[in-house]
């Protein structure tokens, strides 16, 4: 049986122009250490089975293979997946995501189960509004095992506790039953619909809007302990 543990972000600083540049001061037990190395390192241990690992360029080949394997099913819900995945496009995305991480605008992690990469869980961050927007996808082989919900729960908890966010949003197609059910299991409140919010090459999907505040999240967490 998998033993759950409190998520801990482990952030290492990055190197710019030969000098080690530290991350912002950690909050509530976040462990940060400076090393004069590249790339940046981020690891969030979800439980004894699952770890969230910051996407780096060295992961590009494995991630490209994972996307290609799931391309058809991902393209049903994600406009970006309509374009064929290539090694170079994955590298470009990872570089951009790392730049956003340095600037405090995004955390893009790979879901690792027993050391095997099986999906993605990430969050875009608006530091001015103190809010985040969580997103995720999982390999077809691992769908329905509770992996995505455990990852999302851990990342959201860490974002509230250590980044000081006040709210996290979740957006998904109104027709994506699995994703909407996950949002509700996590304790998100349904807030309405954004018409034609997902633009695909030959159609537009309405988007279901969900949200949870830090107070709601902490209250729900206390109830489940």
> Is 3 a member of any domain?
no
Domain count for the chain: 1
> Is 183 a member of any domain?
no
> Is 97 a member of any domain?
yes
> Is 100 a member of any domain?
yes
Distance CA 213, CA 188 (A): 9
- What's the pTM? 0.81
Confidence at residue 225, expressed as pLDDT on a 0 to 100 scale: 59
Distance CA 105, CA 127 (A): 7
Residue from 36, 155, 53 nearest 97 by CA: 53
Per-residue pLDDT tens over the stretch 63-104: 999 999 999 999 999 999 999 999 999 999 999 999 999 999
> Is 198 a member of any domain?
no
**Domain containing 106 — which CATH number?**
3.40.630.30
The range of the structural domain enclosing residue 27 comes to 9-168
Which tokens sit at 17?
Answer: 């122009």
pLDDT along the chain (225 residues), means of 10: 43 31 38 34 88 95 97 95 96 95 94 95 95 97 96 96 95 97 96 97 97 95 69
Residue 198, C-beta contacts closer than 8 angstroms, at least 6 positions apart: 77, 79, 173, 204, 205, 206, 207
Helices (H) and strands (E) in the chain, counts: 5, 12
Distance CA 24, CA 182 (A): 32
> Is 21 a member of any domain?
yes
């Amino acid at each position: 049986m998998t033993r759950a543990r409190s998520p801990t972000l482990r952030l290492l600083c990055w190197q710019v122009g030969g000098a080690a540049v530290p991350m912002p001061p950690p909050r509530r037990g976040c462990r940060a250490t400076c090393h004069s190395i590249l790339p940046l390192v981020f690891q969030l241990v979800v439980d004894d089975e699952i770890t969230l690992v910051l996407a780096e360029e060295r992961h590009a080949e494995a991630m490209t293979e994972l996307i290609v394997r799931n391309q058809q099913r991902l393209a049903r819900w994600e406009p970006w997946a309509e374009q064929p995945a290539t090694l170079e496009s994955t590298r470009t995305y990872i570089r951009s995501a790392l730049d956003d991480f340095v600037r405090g605008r995004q955390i893009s992690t790979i879901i690792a189960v027993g050391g095997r990469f099986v999906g993605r869980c990430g969050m875009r961050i608006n530091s001015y509004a103190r809010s985040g927007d969580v997103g995720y996808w999982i390999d077809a082989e691992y769908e329905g095992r509770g992996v995505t919900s455990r990852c999302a729960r851990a990342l959201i908890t860490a974002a509230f506790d250590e980044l000081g966010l006040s709210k996290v949003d979740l957006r998904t197609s109104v027709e994506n039953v699995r994703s909407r059910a996950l949002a509700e299991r996590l304790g998100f409140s349904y807030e309405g619909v954004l018409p034609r919010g997902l633009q695909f090459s030959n159609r537009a999907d309405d988007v279901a809007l969900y949200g949870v505040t830090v107070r709601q999240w902490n209250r729900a967490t206390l109830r489940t302990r």
